[in-house]
Every structure is written in C-alpha cells, then in structure tokens.
Structure 1
C-alpha cells in the first residue's frame, strides 16, 4: 500500500483523545507563530518585518534566498538605504537600494528612486505606468539585518514543480477524503 496507506492507517488507529491533543498542540503552535508575527509588526513598524530576497538584483550584497529583517521608522529615507517596497499591480515585494531622494516643494514629502545593485537601470520601469518616484506609502521597511540562504526553503516550496505537485496532491486527497484523516475507527 506504500507510505501513504501506512500513514492513513496510523491516523485511523489514533484514539479521539490523541487526535484532539495533536490538534490543540498544532493550534497552539500556529497561534504562537501568529502572535510572534503580530508582535514583530508592532515592534518594527513594518507590515512585513521579514522578507526573502527572490532575485539576483541585489548581488553581491544580498543573494537570492537571503532573509531580510525590516524596520520602518519615521525618519526620512536617505539615498543608499536598502528598502523593500510594493508597487501597484505586483504582489511580490521588491528589495532595492534608494539612489535618489526628491523632496516635494508643495508638501515637503520625500519621494525616492530605487535601483537594484546588480541592475543597469533604475526601477522606473517597475513602478506603475507614469510613476517616476516611489512615495513613502509604497515602502514596507528598511533592511536592518539579514540571514543568508535561510529563505531558500520558501523559494523551493513555491517554485519547484515537484513540491507544488505534492502540495496539490495532498490538498486533493484531503478534500476528496476528509473523513479518512480524522476518523476514529
């Protein structure tokens, strides 16, 4: 029957109390992770205090798969800082360096122009159509630290077809046979 069948049989053999204990433990782990995440967002002032570098655009400083820790303070953003930002029409945040700062005379607000260290041109092509500068509300945070290579787990889970296939198969089995995984019999 294989390892899937053995796994199903072992789950079936569990008593309801064991299943409930495991479910509560899993719930506590997930809840703890969410509390830690929310605490980090409050402490750092960033909606996403941890991001993974997904491209080679910041090499040699940051490699694909590095994890960046972000902080968003009220201080003005300066040229040379590394920021993470979102732009309209793109789901994935971008990690790039601020190369120019522009202060608007009418409001005093500061807009920035960014560029990847490994790119030949600035990021205006990535911004929304007609947008020449990046306003502060697009910026998720400033990079304040990093862990090399740890983000590869995330990249592999989202990009590798075999992992996607396994996750899709698991979801399909769970939705097709929901009672199989939680029956006591």
Structure 2
C-alpha cells in the first residue's frame, strides 16, 4: 500500500531532514515578519494590477470586508502618490501573482506547500 510505504519512509527519516524542513518553514516566517518590521506594514508585498504606468493605491483595513473607498473624497476611487504618507522601498515585478494564486486557489496553495514539504522530507543529502 502506498500510505503504509509513505509512513515507513517518514519513520525512517533522518533527524537532519526534519530539522531542515523546520528551518525552511521558520525561515519563511522570519523573512515575512522581517519585511513587516522593515516596511512597518502588515502587508509588505503589494500587487499592482494595472500596467498604465500610473501608480494608484486602494486601501483596505485588516478586518474590513470591503475596501476603504467610502472614506475617500466624493468621486475619488484611488489614492495617488500625493495622498500616501509611506514610501515603497522596492519593486519586484510579478511577485504578487504568487499571493493572488495562493488566495484565489486554496487547493493550489496546499498542493505547493505539500510538495515543498514532501521534497524536504524525502530529499536525502
């Protein structure tokens, strides 16, 4: 049976492999938390959906179901650079697509996490 073989492999795993997996997971969390501290934001990665060249922002509170357009001036749909107090410190094109895919397709997210975990667990040094 496939499931019993997998369990036997897990039991025979080297302690180094388990620690390696733990280090990968904790490193990803530390990088994310570090970005939060450096940027002063709970969401240090922002997705840009337009390619017109105009940088516009749409804000949303952490616990709100909808965006903050109701708080903007009458007829204003986006914030512009002059409206923003903070400052972007970097630009990495297309990195936000990972966030969008993970949020829109939870099965994809779990599949990627499973495959990464499986790779770490069965990869022998």
TM-score (structure 2 length as normaliser): 0.52
Residue in structure 2 matching 1:43, options 11, 35, 38? 38
Work out whether 1:164 is the aligned partner of 2:107: yes
> Gapped runs of 5+ residues in structure 1?
63-80, 95-111, 115-120, 125-135, 172-185
Residue in structure 2 matching 1:123, options 57, 77, 89? 77
User: More strand by proportion, 1 or 2?
Assistant: 1
Work out whether 1:85 is the aligned partner of 2:59: yes
Q: CA RMSD in A?
A: 4.3
1:13-52 map, 5 Å: 13-14=8-9, 16-18=11-13, 20-52=15-47
C-alpha contact (below 8 Å) 2:102/2:108 kept by paired residues = no
Larger RCO, structure (CA 8 Å, separation 6 or more): 2
Decide whether aligned partners of structure 1 residues 52 and 9 sit closer, same or farther in structure 2, where only a CA change above 3 A counts.
farther
Work out whether 1:60 is the aligned partner of 2:5: no
> Gapped runs of 5+ residues in structure 2?
115-125
TM-score (structure 1 length as normaliser): 0.39
Decide whether aligned partners of structure 1 residues 18 and 26 sit closer, same or farther in structure 2, where only a CA change above 3 A counts.
same
User: More helix by proportion, 1 or 2?
Assistant: 2
Q: Aligned equivalents of 1:59 and 1:31: distance in 2?
A: 35
